[in-house]
A and B are shown apart, each in its own frame.
Chain A
């Protein structure tokens, strides 16, 4: 029987050993393992690569420790804007969404764009209208609120009071 393979990530950055408590370290590893296990189960049972990556990503989107879905960071205006994409290597079909604010699991919407629209990318309100038509779960924007992410925004603003600094950084 042919083999299968899976890799996942939950973001990269300045992640130092002394920046996390042992409890947080363990919680992150457990969350990664849960996502890995979900995808691996699909593949081990003969499921498709698309279903496997969806299973893994859904768990990470629902895990507030990662910057996606429930754990999305805050914009400057203290809102959340989520993006996602998916691609099928068999056909090179692809789907993507950008700047959605009420879609609980953007990866599901990206897959719907791929399978149920003639387009590759939808954005903003239009993407959310498409989501509603397709029966994708919508949530109030407050669903994505997390206190530790809000504090991160407040710390950033406190350090960068100059609008010019911010413009340079993100422009």
Chain B
């Protein structure tokens, strides 16, 4: 799965996710990537999220929408909201990760796997890519 989230100079957020699914999947199984609110969500008032991981759990938790709701209604930071929702995924037995951008421009990662292919860049000069969990 791949994804991207962004905040532009006009203050608008967007999110997108694309995937080939799960190796060996059957019966037309569909994961969270195309499910708005599970694998992808964007709302200028809250955040933009793209997810990757065990889709069935991300659908059950409603990961992307839940992160935005915590930020919008409980004023949580992008990192705190993402970590809380990923903890919920883990508690159910799922794994994976999310990328999140907030209306103020925070770009954060949260994942409970050994690694996640990821990168972030901002107008403030951040420009980094990483793979392993300890980077």
**Whole-angstrom distance between the alpha carbons of A145 and B15 in the complex?**
27
User: Is B118 in contact with A94, judged by CB distance below 8 angstroms?
Assistant: no
* A84: interface (CB < 8 Å): yes
B1-45 Cβ-contact flags toward A at 8 Å (1 or 0): 111111111111111111111111110111101111001111110
User: Is A67 in contact with B34, judged by CB distance below 8 angstroms?
Assistant: no
A1-37 Cβ-contact flags toward B at 8 Å (1 or 0): 1111111111111111100000001001100110111
Which of the residues A33, A69, A80, A81 comes within 8 Å of B18, measured between beta carbons?
Answer: A69
Interface bracket on B: 35 or more
User: Is A7 in contact with B120, judged by CB distance below 8 angstroms?
Assistant: yes
B107 — which chain A residues lie within 8 A by C-beta?
A: 5-7
User: Is A17 in contact with B132, judged by CB distance below 8 angstroms?
Assistant: yes
Which of the residues A6, A16, A72, A124 comes within 8 Å of B21, measured between beta carbons?
Answer: A72
**Whole-angstrom distance between the alpha carbons of A85 and B108 in the complex?**
20
User: Is B117 in contact with A3, judged by CB distance below 8 angstroms?
Assistant: no
**Whole-angstrom distance between the alpha carbons of A17 and B14 in the complex?**
32
A131 — which chain B residues lie within 8 A by C-beta?
A: none
User: Is A14 in contact with B23, judged by CB distance below 8 angstroms?
Assistant: no
User: Is B23 in contact with A2, judged by CB distance below 8 angstroms?
Assistant: no
**Whole-angstrom distance between the alpha carbons of A21 and B9 in the complex?**
39
Where the two chains meet, the residues of B that have a C-beta atom closer than 8 Å to any C-beta of A are 1-26, 28-31, 33-36, 39-44, 48, 50, 52-53, 95-97, 99-101, 105-109, 111, 113-124, 127, 129, 131-132
A-B interface, 3 closest residue pairs, ranked by CB to CB distance from nearest: A72-B20, A15-B115, A89-B13
7 contacts between A and B (CB under 8 A): A3-B122, A5-B120, A5-B123, A6-B122, A49-B48, A60-B2, A67-B19
